[in-house]
Structures are given as C-alpha cells and as structure tokens.
Amino acid sequence: MNCCPNCFTHTFLKDFIKKSSKQNGKCSFCSSKRIFPLCSPTSLIDLFQPLFDLYTEERGGRFLNELLQYDWNIFSKYINKKKTLKLISKIAGKKELNSKRFISTLVLNKAFIDKWDAFTNELKHENRFFPKNAIDTSQLSELFDYLIMSKEQSPKYVFRARINHQSIALPITEMGTPPLDKSKDGRANPKGISYFYGTSDEKTAIAEIRPYKSENVCVAKFKVNKRISLIDLRDPKSTISPFGLDDDSLSLLYQDHMPFLGHLGDALSKPVLPYKKELEYLPTQYLCELVKDHNFNGIVFKSSLEQGDNYVIFDDSFLTGTKVETFIVSDTPVKSVKVTRKK
C-alpha cells in the first residue's frame, strides 16, 4: 500500500513524498482519483517518530490518528478517519495501533496566553500608550517566522465590497483603500490609518460588509501584482509544520507556541459588536502594527461571517483593480439561540 502528497496538509510532507517518490499511481488511502507521486508509508517513520513520542498509551485516551489531527491537522480532507488510522499504523509498522489509545505526555503552557490577555486588558482599560504589562515583542516577533504564508498559497486576486446607493456601479478608483480622512477604526487599523481590507472571494467580501436585504453591493476584483509577504493566522495547526524539528523545539512548539498562536488567530476572527469595536479592536490593531513594523506586507485570517479568508494589506500599491461588478443582496440569513437566564 502506498500514500501520496494528497493525504496530508503540510507542505513539508508533500514535498518530501514528491522528492522521494519512485513511482506514480493511485493512492491506497485518500479518495483522490488523480495520479500522484507515491511512497511507502514506512518511509515516513523518521519524520513521524518524534510526533509519536509526544504521546503515551492510555486506556482512557484517544486513537493516535485523532490526536495527530487535533494537535497538528496532519491529514487532508481527502482521507477519512478510518483510513488515517490505517495509514498511521502502516507508517509505524505496528498493526496494533488500530486498537490502542493514547494521551499527550506534555502539558500545555498557557503563560504566553495569560501575558497577552493581561497586556491587552491593560491596553483597553488602564494604560493605552505605556502599559506596565508590556509583552516581549522580540519573543513574539520570532513566532512570525512560523507563520509566513507560502508562495503557493499567496493570493493572486483579492476582493473588496462596498454598499452602493447610486444607480450606477462605483468606479474602481473608489473601491480601494479609504482616504485617510475617511478611515475608521478597523480590526487591523486605528482611525486615521488606512489599510486595504480584502477577501478571498466575492461571497465573503459581501458578507463582511453586513448589507441589508435588497441593497446594492459593488464588488471589486484586485490583482496582486507583486510578491507579498503575509502572516497567516487562519489556522496555525495547518500553517506550522512539526516535521524536521529537534525534540526540544517540537516540545516548545507543542506546549507554548501553538496554543498562543491559535489564541491570536481566534482573536482576529471572532465577531465583534459594532458598539464595542473601539476597545475590542485595540489588541489586534497592536498586533498588526507589530507585523507591519517587522516589514511584512499584511496578514490573513479566517472570516467570522463566511467560509473564506480575510486579507489586510498595509500598502495597496501591491494591488491593481481589474473590474467592478454589482450584486443585489437576496437574503441575509439570521440564526439565533435562545438565552435562558437564571432568576
């Protein structure tokens, strides 16, 4: 039985399989019908063994494939859970892994998260410009190296929407970054500093401006005309590869860095009520200023309103507008959960 690059999410693994493969064919594990470079699962043991060593057998635990997926998002959407368990047992050369359960040998360290939360709370409610709980920016900026978006994933086009009350479509010149005098507080920018907010697709662009039903919306398409360096906070578990690290670096990544980076990604993506945004956006505005100060061109994070991604690009000279299309909002679905309060 052979596996293929399509079984996994991490670029490191995909590249390893492509380079070491000696044959092409249909994969024995994933559902893809395409022809891929193939490799024997046992050839991956040196890469996976440090990960296996993070877990110990425990009757009340979980299957090893489940832990690897939860902690590292190893497997792609093309391979089902049953097949991932079989693949893991083949990699390890131990059929008994199909029935054994495991737990992590390491305890997650929330010190980074606690420091960040204390800092952001002070930023919002105590000291805006000279906080006493200032975080170690050099330590934080070192983590950016884990999160640089790969060239393959960098967007070729981004989309931006605006509500239009005119009878004709807005010109492309009015669809870009707002003028400084019209720049409002945003998730990434304070009032008076203007960044380009875009999305990965038209549907997400429309959702992000929260239009009413029957409103006219203009959506502009922008070509990314230069290579841009983006910090990717969509899902650190998918972005950061645990492969090729020494034991100490892998343990530090698992215990300290991954929980913290996931926390930052959640902060960027969480919905914020409009009347709370002035304060709630302060932490993410600070984070984006730090990213900008380290010469990155922007960030990417998950949309809280749609399935696509959001882009913040600090300098819109990287972009060229190509077209504007008009949409009429046909529906704005509302979902709610009843709140029961104790008397």
Query: Looking up tokens 């635990």, which residue turns up?
Result: 61
Identity at 292, one-letter amino acid code: K
Residue 133 and residue 122: Cα distance in Å, rounded?
7
Query: Looking up tokens 């997926």, which residue turns up?
Result: 69
3-state SS class at 213: coil
Residue % of the chain over a pLDDT of 70: 99
- What pLDDT does residue 331 have? 86
Give, for 49, the enclosing helix (H) or strand (E). helix 45-52
- What is the pTM (predicted TM-score) of this model? 0.86
Contact, 232 vs 170, CB < 8 A?
A: no
Please report how the helices 45-52 and 81-92 are oriented relative to each other, as an axis angle in degrees rounded to 10: 100
How do residues 249-307 score in pLDDT, each as one tens digit? 899 999 999 999 999 999 988 888 888 888 999 999 999 999 999 999 999 999 988 99
Q: Could you tell me the pLDDT band of residue 204, with boundaries at 50, 70 and 90? A: very high
Dihedral pair phi/psi, residue 26, rounded to 5°: -90, 135
How do residues 56-66 score in pLDDT, each as one tens digit? 999 999 999 99
Name which of 141, 152, 134 is nearest 10 in CA terms.
152
- What pLDDT does residue 343 have? 62
Residue 195 and residue 189: Cα distance in Å, rounded?
7
Residue 279 and residue 299: Cα distance in Å, rounded?
20
Alpha-carbon torsion, ordered 283, 185, 295, 160, to 10 deg: 120
3-state SS class at 99: coil
Q: Is 14 left (phi over 0), alpha (psi -120 to 50) or beta?
A: alpha
Query: Looking up tokens 């505005």, which residue turns up?
Result: 285
- What pLDDT does residue 52 have? 94
**What are the structural domain ranges in the chain?**
5-104, 113-328
Structure tokens that stand for 243 in this block: 């492969």
**pLDDT for 322 beyond 80:** yes
Residue 146 and residue 263: Cα distance in Å, rounded?
15
- What pLDDT does residue 74 have? 94
Q: Could you tell me the pLDDT band of residue 338, with boundaries at 50, 70 and 90? A: confident
Contact, 279 vs 155, CB < 8 A?
A: no
How do residues 139-182 score in pLDDT, each as one tens digit? 888 889 889 998 888 999 999 999 999 889 999 999 999 999 99
3-state SS class at 283: helix
